[in-house]
Structure 1
Amino acid sequence: MKQTFKYFLVLAVIASIYTSCKRDDDYFAAKISGFISNFDLKRLYKETDLSLNAQALGGATMIRGIVISDFRSGNSPTGLLVLQNSRISGTAIDSLRGMSFNIGAGASDFVPGDSVHIKIDGGVLKRVSGILQITGLSSSAVTKVASGRQIKMQSVSTGAILTNPDRFESTLVTLTNVVFDPELAVGTTYSGDKTVNDGFGVATLHTETGASFANTIALPSGNFSGIPFVSGTGAAKKIQFWMRTLNDFFYVEMPKLSPAVIAGYMVDPNGGDGNYEYIQFLASKDIDFAVNPMSVYTTNNAGATTFPTLGWNTGAARTYKINLTSGTVKKGQFFYVGGTGKRINGSASTSTSTAIWIGSKDYSTTAGADGVGTATSNLLANSGNVAGIAIFDGVNITPSSVPLDVIFFGGAGGNFYSAGPPEVGYRITITDYYGTVNPATRLRQDFYGAGTNTRRLGFPSAATSFSKLGGVYNSLKGGWVTGRILTTVPLTNTSVLTDIESGATSLSN
């Protein structure tokens, strides 16, 4: 009996070693259940029709997933059942993918949250009118096994969809801070095709004329949830976006017009940081700072062990304030805030004193305005925890004040946000990177780190480099026509202003 027990124990150990050493590439070799994920099926597709059978799919003949299409409001592609699933492999792969199944009129028998099994043996994976789908199936190939399952929603930009359509097509996503482009005339309804812009690209919002909400008047801005389909290749790629119901739209106010926006920053000048770091702003209107004073804050959270209970006013080594109370700038001009060194790349480099400097302070020896921040050699972090820049209207800022513009960059750490209660952190505003409403829960998210407000730019990819933010800002209504993208600009001692101003943020009108 002991020998038999040892024998089975050895077999169990061998089996355990085999399964623990299994690689991603071995996944197809062990499809005992006969199911394949959308993730793996899409890897097999090479933009030519693919006949689906057990031999082609490593033994699989079925797909299972959660339905996301919804025909109840009359706005879903005819005959297409759309579902998403994730690869079950025990790895950290972000494998959520969607797939459309052309099963005819029976597609309308299913609703979001239905869990289904689909027999795909005998079908063909192909593109029809740009939509990747499995054809040659009937509704009898689909078996509903459960209902009311939770659906994962992704918040993405149009730019991300166009960059990686394989990942996002036929999945349920939310586009945030969206406006119609061009702006709709008062009283315009959803019916037909409308172009929407989220600052990172455009999509065609499609509403069937027979949809229950087709004649509903469209509001000017908000978050749109729905299913994207991508057609074309290269620069010709286009997104057609289908809201499924009127509830897939949630009104969100667009950002207020900011007189100035952050256009770039220098975090690591040659020879050290003390007194030579600076921030570049672009004026969207004529500003007389004696009449309309503003204030600029920075935070670097280096070595932070507590949460910033006073937000941008936390001070000490966490935040630093510079008031802007004199000087003028014209619409479309760049202006600068930072150390009194006023050089492009440290003490031995080209002077930038001829540029428009609205706020300069020897932060290496002097405390911040209104006592916010102690003297520091590191106004802007160049490594480590998350760092940020904000500009406010006025100089009497409180923890509840909302900035005009804000950007975060750097690492992920730093004890920068606590959900509380009470909730504390650095307040944000609606920008190309942040929103005050969570697109998934539709609840307020007023701080960096809350909800989906986790986006941050990286540090420059090389030392002594300027972080240029190239975007296009609407100077009449506010908001970003094109979102800001970080470009690292290596600088030398002989670099000049045009090196950091050319290609930086611009105005659309």
Structure 2
Amino acid sequence: MKTIFNKKTIKAILLALLASVGLFHSCEDKSENYLGELSPYIALEDVRALHKGSDVQLNEETLTGASKIYGTVISDHRSGNVPDGTIILQQWKRNRLRGMAIHAGSVAADFLPGDSIVVNINNKTLTRDGFLTVTGVTTADIEKISTGNNIMGVTTTAYSMNLAPQNFEGTLVKIVGGQMYPKPETGEVFNGTKLMINGADTVGIVTLPEAEFAQTQVPRNINVTGIMLGAKDSDITKNNIFPRYSEDIVDVSDPEVPEYIGSTPIIITGFCNDPSGGDSNYEYIQLRANTDINFAEVPFSVVTSNNAGSVLHTAGWATGGAKTYKFNLTEGSVSKGDIFYVGGHQKKINGANSTDISNAKWIRTIATANDPGDGLGDKNSNIMPNSGNAGGIAVFIGTNVAEQSVPVDVIFYGGNGTASIISPDKTHGYRIANTDHYAMYIQDTGELTPFFSMGDGKNDFRFPHHGGPTNTDAGYFFQLGGQFNTTTRKWETPREHNIFILDKSSTIDMIETGDGVTKQVD
């Protein structure tokens, strides 16, 4: 049978197809339109990409047929810490958060955090004076769609922010574990731009004179939330954070350390850096307490280092990024003699599908492959190396780790490469403690030796990698056994390594008991 399609039949089919497209069209995403239409909306990320270093005139040609942007307001002029006449708009699209500043003059104060707005940017100018801004916007260009919408934010590090500022500018960010530099003087207040160090990177904390917290005293260490904006060429930093409210600045300065804590209150007794299968979220560190500790009263931190490559980590343990990763120990408690753990959140003895050891004493876990460290370190599927340059583990009193911070215990293991570990002039590197294998000075001469791997036998000790570079992924536990005197707080027998292969059914007793475990004596 022969089917004949005349013009009327074809027209009917096309109309039916168009109607079905219309039925499934989502009106929630303003960038999607019916078949054949150009959207009037353009993503903030795409507008940002138009700026190549000089001003851009925004029109239908440069905007590829679009004329409007939309998003959620995050600036709040009521608190007084927003650049004059500026609305900060952010947008969640394509599974990422992007932002933009809009200069609208006095009308900017009419828009509050959580307002959803649409802005006509046709025949406006995209310019950068420190931060990207759309200028020339008037009241008639802004349409308020709704109020009280949720505001998203992202926790990041100064390293990530300075590495890719375009991903954070104009958005609400939070940085954990910042150290104000130089050390604030008594009575010093936030008014102005203050430098904050996070890892090896620096950002500015900007407080305008009209801000409600301008006269608040600057603490030594803070967690800060605010709007990230690029700095002007004349500023002392590349990027700035504008806190919105007084509660956006949280004092996290470490408390005074009680005398009973003493020297070497915690020692490193083992680690699993290469569990069977993928390492992500399964690596862990075993430690032992030499005194009773309530971490809510006396916080500690544990930092790991992964020193792949040849780029010097100038801030040592405080480098952050992909190189060092920090766990803050701020909850729970341990008694003298307790063995406890920090590490990936899976709490398995030897990777996926192995024995659950969640009943052991865990003080801090993080989904390390998914989440950044506590103020230091980007998300990382391998926080401790399996081969190559030496990796390390350090324990600190307090949670604020800076370049000059000295640990209470430290170990290193792995190869002999030093390019990423210590500077040629021996002035920058990983600081060590006085332990069984390291000394901060040479007793006979008084020469200071504050760093790991200074050469000529000065703090060069490292345990070997497990099984050699080619024998990885077998599921090893790296046990460190010695004898520690909890009265003198000194090692009577230095730690030696005992590497043994775990299997999926291994139990916690295998790594907490036996001749290879560190022993404590009084």
Fold shared per TM-score above 0.5 = yes
Q: 1:299 aligns with which of 267, 272, 284?
A: 272
Q: 1:427 aligns with which of 355, 363, 366?
A: 363
Q: 1:396 aligns with which of 337, 347, 351?
A: 337
Q: 1:68 aligns with which of 68, 74, 93?
A: 74
Show CA shifts across 1:454-493 (max 9, x none).
655454999741244699x99999522489xxxxx995xx
The answer to whether the 8 A contact 2:202-2:237 is kept is: no
Q: How far, CA to CA, are the matches of 1:44 and 1:175 in structure 2?
A: 28
After superposition, the Cα gap between the structure-2 partners of 1:52 and 1:469, relative to the gap in structure 1 and judged at 3 Å, is: farther
Show CA shifts across 1:382-434 (max 9, x none).
xxxx9x999x99861266xxx7xx67699997489x9xxx9998423xxxxxx
> Residue in 1 aligned with 2:101?
100
Q: 1:171 Cα deviation (Å)?
A: 0.8
> Residue in 2 aligned with 1:140?
140
Q: 1:54 aligns with which of 49, 54, 60?
A: 60
Q: How many residue pairs end up in the alignment? A: 360
Q: TM-score, normalised by structure 2?
A: 0.55
The answer to whether the 8 A contact 2:85-2:109 is kept is: yes
Q: TM-score, normalised by structure 1?
A: 0.56
> Residue in 2 aligned with 1:465?
388
- Identity among equivalent pairs (%): 23
Q: Superposition pairs for residues 224-263 of structure 1, below 5 Å?
A: 224-231=224-231, 238-254=238-254
The answer to whether the 8 A contact 2:91-2:99 is kept is: yes
Shifted more, 162-171 versus 181-190: the winner is 181-190
Q: How far, CA to CA, are the matches of 2:393 and 2:79 in structure 1?
A: 40
Counterpart amino acid of residue 56 in structure 1 = T
Shifted more, 473-482 versus 78-87: the winner is 473-482
Q: How far, CA to CA, are the matches of 1:172 and 1:408 in structure 2?
A: 27
The answer to whether the 8 A contact 1:298-1:389 is kept is: no
Q: How far, CA to CA, are the matches of 1:44 and 1:423 in structure 2?
A: 54
Counterpart amino acid of residue 124 in structure 2 = G
1:188 aligns with 2:188: yes
1:448 aligns with 2:448: no
**3-state DSSP class of the match of 1:72?**
helix
Q: How far, CA to CA, are the matches of 1:12 and 1:152 in structure 2?
A: 36
Counterpart amino acid of residue 204 in structure 2 = T
**3-state DSSP class of the match of 1:169?**
coil
Segments of 5+ residues of structure 2 without an aligned counterpart are: 26-31, 292-324, 406-412, 433-449, 452-522
Q: How far, CA to CA, are the matches of 1:256 and 1:297 in structure 2?
A: 29
> Residue in 1 aligned with 2:131?
131
Q: How far, CA to CA, are the matches of 1:148 and 1:389 in structure 2?
A: 34
Q: Superposition pairs for residues 151-300 of structure 1, below 5 Å?
A: 151-231=151-231, 238-254=238-254, 294-299=267-272
After superposition, the Cα gap between the structure-2 partners of 1:145 and 1:496, relative to the gap in structure 1 and judged at 3 Å, is: closer
Q: How far, CA to CA, are the matches of 1:192 and 1:321 in structure 2?
A: 43
Q: 1:293 Cα deviation (Å)?
A: 6.5
Q: 1:193 Cα deviation (Å)?
A: 2.0
Q: 1:480 aligns with which of 394, 402, 408?
A: 402
Q: 2:88 aligns with which of 61, 82, 88?
A: 82
After superposition, the Cα gap between the structure-2 partners of 1:55 and 1:470, relative to the gap in structure 1 and judged at 3 Å, is: farther
The answer to whether the 8 A contact 2:223-2:251 is kept is: yes
Q: 1:184 Cα deviation (Å)?
A: 1.2
Q: How far, CA to CA, are the matches of 1:155 and 1:140 in structure 2?
A: 35
After superposition, the Cα gap between the structure-2 partners of 1:498 and 1:119, relative to the gap in structure 1 and judged at 3 Å, is: closer
Show CA shifts across 1:29-73 (max 9, x none).
977330001111112221111111111111100000000111011
Counterpart amino acid of residue 38 in structure 2 = I
Shifted more, 495-504 versus 65-74: the winner is 495-504
After superposition, the Cα gap between the structure-2 partners of 1:49 and 1:295, relative to the gap in structure 1 and judged at 3 Å, is: closer
After superposition, the Cα gap between the structure-2 partners of 1:231 and 1:208, relative to the gap in structure 1 and judged at 3 Å, is: closer
Q: How far, CA to CA, are the matches of 1:124 and 1:182 in structure 2?
A: 39
